[in-house]
Amino acid sequence: MQIDERAVGDVIVLDLRGKFTAGDGDAIIKDTIQRLASRGVCNIILNFADVSYMDSVGLSTIIRARLTLCQHEGELKLLHLPRRVADLLALTRLTVVFETFDDESAAVRSFKRSVT
């Protein structure tokens, strides 16, 4: 897995590419989230537009990432979920935990709403 990091205002968008599986993404996501949170960057969007596959390890990684950001008073939102990932979130009832978006600007604006 590869990650490109970019800022959109006060929000960091992590563009993910490749497979999000054990050994292929879990460690890099965990390290990136922890690095950003330790710098005080706690409003993050994971962009799944170029993720070809995610397994249960990927799912547990995004849950841990959300918990890490919550401990730093931040939020994690998900963007452009592939159908399989969206179905996995629905099956595990995590759709009540994660805000998901199909539009990046709407995802970025949602942070401003939750702060006010």
Domain range annotation of the chain: 2-103
**What distance in Å separates the CA atoms of residue 19 and residue 116, rounded to the nearest whole number?**
36
Query: In this predicted model, what pLDDT tens digit does every residue of 32-86 receive, in sequence order?
Result: 999 999 999 999 999 999 998 888 888 999 999 999 999 999 999 999 999 988 9
Domain 2-103 CATH class label: alpha beta
**What distance in Å separates the CA atoms of residue 78 and residue 20, rounded to the nearest whole number?**
14
Average model confidence (pLDDT) for the chain?
91
pLDDT value of position 52:
86
The structure's pTM equals 0.91
